[in-house]
Structures are given as structure tokens and as C-alpha cells.
Amino acid sequence: MEAQIANTSHVDDFFADMPSSPSALLSSRKSLLNSTDVVDKIDDKARQAREADNHAVAAVAAWLTGDYNNALISTNSLSTDDMLSDFIGASSLLELDSRDAAAEILDGKFATSDKALNALCLQTMLASRNNDGFEKVYSKAKLENSDQLYFAGRKKELCREYEEACSLYEQALEIDERHTHARFRLAFRADLHGDDRTAIRHYEAFNEHLPIPTAALINLGLIYDDNNDYERACGCFSAVQRRDPSNRLAKMYFTDAHDSLNMFYDENAELKEDQMMKVLRTPISDFELSVRARNCLTNMGINTLEELVSYTEADMLEWKNFGETSLSEIKRLLVQKGLRLGMRRDDGSFMVPDDFDAARSINLEEELKWMGPLSDEQKEALELQISTLNLSVRCHRALVERLNLQRIGDALLYSEEDLLGMPNFGITSLNELQLKLKDYNLRLRSGRGEEAFLG
């Protein structure tokens, strides 16, 4: 949800006359939490109420913003036992995945006059796997129309009628687009069927409204992780930990995603450096330079790009007859390759510029000479976009989003060994890519030493 400047005066109005029923509280949450400024102000209200031992206000405020641990602590400190405290306590426990404890609070509380509490009772029965209890009472429950459709969908799921269930969830969303449970089930079912696009669309829709359910953040993070989008995965898991530092799943998944992110960056940097070193071995004689610039480089003993980028601009200008005009010419040449002067570190290694692009810096036909003479059809295929191969989402993202490859020929710069070293690029993705390349009479190298072997 994007941060936005909002009028927060209605927060004071809300706490001056707080709702006394679960339905009114739930309705207020939907209308009240329309910006991060409002959330911040309610958090302040909760903190002030806790300091003043005003447990009723502290419980409501914490629950509104999704701070369920503090909501539960404040609710347990209340001396009264009413529908509102039961609702806040049970829904907080359910969000914290303490299903049996939530069911214990709501035991015998079903069939009240409050529709939101009735819906929570049914949801808790399902979460605690009390399916028999759910089926006995759900048809008699007094519910909002959107909840009636949602729970009808859950009954369909119990009967394994999944398409009918999803249709009912869609209808529930047509009535109430912020129906959390209906949207979650649609995302969950799509995820189970491998429809990542639909699952992500529904899970990301939760970002538009606060608070975001913990389960939605966890599941969305896992899908991001499966698709190698480790940065977004870490963002989801860390968001859960900020609200619930004790969440073990979020902590474990964050650690795994963060390790994969570091591994990806390390391995991708190594591959990129390998490609750059190939470019740096290119002789200066391969480039069209003015006579003055070429003679200057010859006099300086510079014969390759590697030797050239070892000098800084100041080094170059110290040489006789090497002026600003020749320097500008050299810099334009290097920019075309994504390189620059002064790339050699003190230890003799070379830094890889952020804008270095192996694809634009390498002569494809020269690099692929290990394949033998290329036909006109093969040469044309090398220039086709990778999207032409119609790869699976996982394989396509690994090549295009992670390695930043565009053309089919760019992919052939990597060997089977290189690609299998990438996180989440397994033998299935490799076989898929090889099969698609075969349609164009192309293939990947099996390993780094194949060129020498074939030569």
C-alpha cells in the first residue's frame, strides 16, 4: 500500500465513541485504515493506552493495525468477558496460528446476533479442522451475504468441488472486494494448481488494504522465492517479522531467501566477470581508431582492452601527444563495450562496471565458433528474442530477469554447467531450454572446456 498524506482527525472521533460489537468494529476497520498515516496514529493510540493501563482501547487499537500479539495481551488483561473481547482475542489467536486456543474461546459462542462473530466462529471451526461441527451449523448461521457465499464455497471445497467453490468466492468478492478469506482461498487454490500469475494477483491485492494478513504475506513470499524473486520474498517475510518477531516460519523463510539472494548475486557476478574478461582480451587492432589515437596506444605498449582499462584518464593524458581529443575517442570506444578507464584494482583484479553488458560487448559468431560454420538460418535464430522460445515462466525469468539476456544467441554464451550453477535453474529447466534450441539447430556447450576439445 503506497504511503499517502491523509487527514487523521477521524481517528480521534473513532476512539471517542468506539464500536461495541464485532460487526461494527470490523466495518470501522475497513473504512478507517485508508493510509499509513492513520496506521501510525492508531499505533500511537495503542501505545499510550497500554502505558495508561487502558486495556480496552489498547486491545482495539492494536487489533485494528494487525498488532495481534499486543491485542491479545490487552484483551487478556480485561476483567470483562463480552462479544467484542472474544472477537478480538479469537481473531488475534487465529491470525497468530493458534487455532485450538481460538476455538476454545469461541466454544459455545455460535449463533449470536452478531454476524461478524458468527463468521469468525465458522472460520475457526474450519481452521481447527472441526469440519463436522462446521457442516452442522453453517447453514443456520446469521451472516452477511458475502460471508454466506464464502462459507458455501468452503463447503464445496470439503466436497472437492473446487471450481464451484472458486466461483462462489468470486461472487463474494463482487459483493465485498475486501473479503479477506474469499480472496485468500482464490489465491491459495491458484497456487495449488501452479497458476502463479493468478495467485500473485490475488495475494498482491492485499497490499492495497491494511492490515495485510500474515498467511497472505507468507504464501506470496514463497511464490516469489520459487520464481527466483528473492528480494520481494525477503520483503514479504520481513514484513511479517516486523509485526510478529516470534513467527518462526517467517524467520526461517527469510533466512533461506536471503541466502539464495546472496548466492545468486555471487554466482551472477562471477559469470558476468568471466564474460567481461573475454571482452578485455580483445586486441586493440580489432577497433577502428584514428591514426593519432592508435599510434599513441602503440607507443604506450597498449595492445588489448585489458591493458587499456588498466590506465586512468590522468595516466593517459600524461603521455606525449595524447590529448583530450584522443581521450574522448578512447572513452567512446569503451562506453560502447560497457567499460571505462581505471578498472584495474590495486590487487590486479578488475571491477565489473554496473552497465557492462556481455551481450552487446561480444561478437556472437566469434564466440560460437566452437559450433562450426553457422547457416543463415542459425544466424537469424541467434538474433531472435528469447521470448520466441515460449519457455516456462521459471525458465524465462531465470534467463531474462536474472541474467538479463535478450536474444537466443545471448543464452548460448553460457554453458550447461554455468546455467545449472544458477539458483533454482535445475535439470528440468535445462532440458526444456535444450529442447527449444534444438528446433533452431542450436545447442548449449556442455562445459567450459568444450571449445578446446572441439578445436
The full 3-state SS of the chain, as one line of letters, equals CCCCCCCCHHHHHHHHCCCCCHHHHHHHHHHHCCCHHHHHHHHHHHHHHHHCCCHHHHHHHHHHHCCHHHHHHHHHCCCCCCHHHHHHHHHHHHHCCCHHHHHHHHCCCCCCCCHHHHHHHHHHHHHCCCHHHHHHHHHHCCCCHHHHHHHHHHHHHHCCCHHHHHHHHHHHHHHCCCCHHHHHHHHHHHHHCCCHHHHHHHHHHHHHCCCCCHHHHHHHHHHHHHCCCHHHHHHHHHHHHHHCCCCHHHHHHHHHHHHHHHHHHHHHHHHHHHHHHHHHCCEHHHCCCCHHHHHHHHHCCCCEHHHHCCCCHHHHHCCCCCCHHHHHHHHHHHHHCCCCCCCECCCCCECCCCCCCHHHHCCHHHHCHHHCCCCHHHHHHHCCEHHHHCCCHHHHHHHHHHCCCCEHHHHCCCCHHHHHCCCCCCHHHHHHHHHHHHCCCCCCCCCCCHHHHHC
Task: Name the CATH architecture for the domain at 281-362.
Answer: Orthogonal Bundle (1.10)
**17 near 193, Cβ under 8 Å?**
no
Confirm whether 1-139 and 363-454 share one CATH topology: no
Instruction: Return the pLDDT at 358.
Output: 56
What CATH topology corresponds to 1-139?
A: 1.25.40
Distance, CA of 157 to chain centre: 29
Q: pLDDT by residue for the chain (455 residues), tens digit each?
A: 444 444 678 899 999 999 999 999 999 998 888 888 888 899 999 999 999 999 999 999 999 999 999 999 999 988 777 899 999 999 999 999 899 999 999 988 776 789 999 999 999 999 999 999 998 888 888 999 999 999 999 999 999 999 999 999 999 999 999 999 999 999 999 999 889 999 999 999 998 888 999 999 999 999 998 888 888 898 999 999 888 888 899 999 998 888 776 665 555 566 677 778 888 888 888 777 888 888 889 888 999 999 998 998 888 888 887 888 888 888 888 877 778 898 888 778 888 887 676 555 556 677 777 788 889 898 888 888 888 888 887 788 778 766 667 788 888 877 887 787 766 678 888 899 999 999 999 998 875 444 433 33
Residue 40 to residue 44: CA distance in whole angstroms = 6
- Taking the alpha carbons at both ends of the chain, their separation in whole angstroms is 57
What CATH topology corresponds to 363-454?
A: DNA polymerase; domain 1 (1.10.150)
Instruction: Return the pLDDT at 363.
Output: 64
**Which residues does 328 contact at the CB level (< 8 Å), separation at least 6?**
none
**165 near 157, Cβ under 8 Å?**
yes
Which residue ranges make up each domain of the chain?
1-139, 281-362, 363-454
Instruction: Return the pLDDT at 157.
Output: 95
**Which residues does 148 contact at the CB level (< 8 Å), separation at least 6?**
none
**Residue where the block lists cell 514484513:** 239
